[in-house]
């Protein structure tokens, strides 16, 4: 994976993404300002931004599950007109995430041909990973945040649509988020990117332990936090949407499929049927992305034809 050092992009980031035991370690996001109701500083970052429709632009890639969180928050909160989008091409190149000159993978905002240009536009000597999602402020020409968890939560400052993180449920939401991030959202990556049998074995067991627990929990609960749809459901969904088409095979998460879990499968299809959610999903692109050429996982980059899955409720 690539990164930037003093404003120059390198296809191979010198910072290792696996530790001595062969376990995948996801790099931390490092631009973490906040949009807040009154524009005051948020819990992290230097300064606050006000929630003004038409001011922000979101850089995403369809296949990235972290970017998917931000796309989901945007549609569930009804911010499609307030926040514009650029989609990177599904397969990264030597230049990292890239854009076409025109068409569905162009960048209408800055006309960038690679995402690293967006990072260096705000900070010419930027050093760090070049990741999606990126929330861009066109008014001050800077990145508000490249941390999806924060982006999801800060979009609540627009005070539009449902409250996905009500105060009374926040401890429960944070508990689910912590467990699901470590063992499921990032757990599938820890299984798929493991470089030792032991690292894979422990990651894959955790993935399915948590899915088994959620399956049991959903037998008596509509959503993760009871009868209210929350941010915790939103953050589970990107992994569920990619599970059978990508993680099951490409990341060897194959003890069970999503469709083998009646309650989870129902939860996923119910979430998918919410207004505009289906517009954030591209199973064909998930396959292209996760079956990209990779020396370690898929040297020839051949994309499998199946599985064929009917997501209708």
Q: Which residues in this chain contact ligand GSH in the complex, by CB under 6 A?
A: 1-2, 26, 29, 64, 66, 129-133, 146-148
Spatial contact of 20 and 143, defined as CB atoms under 8 Å apart: no
Q: Is the Cβ of residue 194 or residue 218 nearer to ligand GSH in the bound state?
A: 194
Cα(211)–Cα(232) distance, integer angstroms: 14
Q: Is the Cβ of residue 182 or residue 270 nearer to ligand GSH in the bound state?
A: 182
The residue among 63, 299, 43 whose CA lies nearest residue 149 is 43
Query: What's the min distance (Å) between Cβ of 66 and ligand GSH?
Result: 3
Q: Is the Cβ of residue 270 or residue 282 nearer to ligand GSH in the bound state?
A: 282
Query: What's the min distance (Å) between Cβ of 13 and ligand GSH?
Result: 6
Query: What's the min distance (Å) between Cβ of 222 and ligand GSH?
Result: 27
Q: Is the dihedral of CA 155, 159, 162, 164 positive or negative?
A: positive
Spatial contact of 212 and 206, defined as CB atoms under 8 Å apart: no
Q: Is 96 left (phi over 0), alpha (psi -120 to 50) or beta?
A: left
Contacts of 107 (CB under 8 A, 6+ apart): 59, 86, 99, 113, 118
Structure tokens at 272: 């998918």
Range 39-73 burial, b when 16+ CB lie within 10 A, else e: eeebeebeebbebeeebbbbbbbbbbbbbbbbbbb
Query: What's the min distance (Å) between Cβ of 2 and ligand GSH?
Result: 5
Catalytic site residues?
64, 189
Beta strands, E only, 62-205? 83-87, 128-129, 134-137, 142-145
Query: What's the min distance (Å) between Cβ of 70 and ligand GSH?
Result: 8
Taking residue 299's Cβ as centre, other Cβ atoms within 10 Å add up to 9
């Amino acid at each position: 994976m690539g990164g930037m050092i003093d404003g120059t992009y390198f296809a191979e980031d010198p910072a290792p993404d696996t530790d001595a035991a062969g376990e995948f370690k996801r790099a931390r996001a490092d631009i973490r300002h906040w949009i807040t109701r009154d524009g005051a500083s948020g819990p992290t970052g230097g300064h606050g931004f006000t929630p003004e429709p038409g001011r922000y632009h979101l850089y995403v890639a369809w296949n990235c599950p972290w970017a998917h969180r931000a796309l989901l928050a945007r549609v569930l909160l009804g911010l499609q007109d307030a926040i514009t989008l650029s989609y990177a091409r599904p397969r990264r190149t030597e230049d990292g995430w890239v854009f076409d000159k025109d068409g569905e993978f162009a960048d209408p905002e800055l006309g960038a041909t690679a995402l690293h240009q967006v990072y260096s536009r705000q900070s010419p000597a930027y050093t760090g990973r070049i990741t999606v999602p990126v929330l861009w402020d066109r008014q001050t020409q800077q990145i508000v945040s490249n941390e999806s968890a924060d982006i999801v939560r800060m979009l609540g400052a627009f005070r539009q649509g449902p409250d996905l993180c009500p105060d009374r449920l926040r401890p429960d939401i944070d508990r689910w988020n912590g467990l699901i991030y470590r063992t499921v959202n990032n757990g599938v990556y820890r299984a798929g990117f493991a470089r030792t049998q032991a690292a894979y074995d422990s990651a894959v067991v955790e993935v399915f332990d948590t899915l088994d627990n959620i399956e049991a929990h959903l037998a008596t609960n509509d959503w993760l936090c009871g009868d209210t749809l929350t941010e915790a459901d939103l953050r589970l969904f990107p992994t569920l949407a990619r599970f059978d088409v990508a993680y099951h095979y490409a990341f060897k998460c194959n003890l069970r499929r999503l469709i083998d879990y009646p309650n989870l499968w129902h939860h996923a299809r119910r979430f998918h049927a919410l207004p505009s959610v289906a517009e954030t999903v591209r199973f064909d692109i998930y396959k292209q992305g996760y079956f990209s050429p990779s020396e370690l996982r898929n040297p020839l980059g051949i994309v499998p034809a199946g599985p064929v899955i009917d997501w209708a409720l």
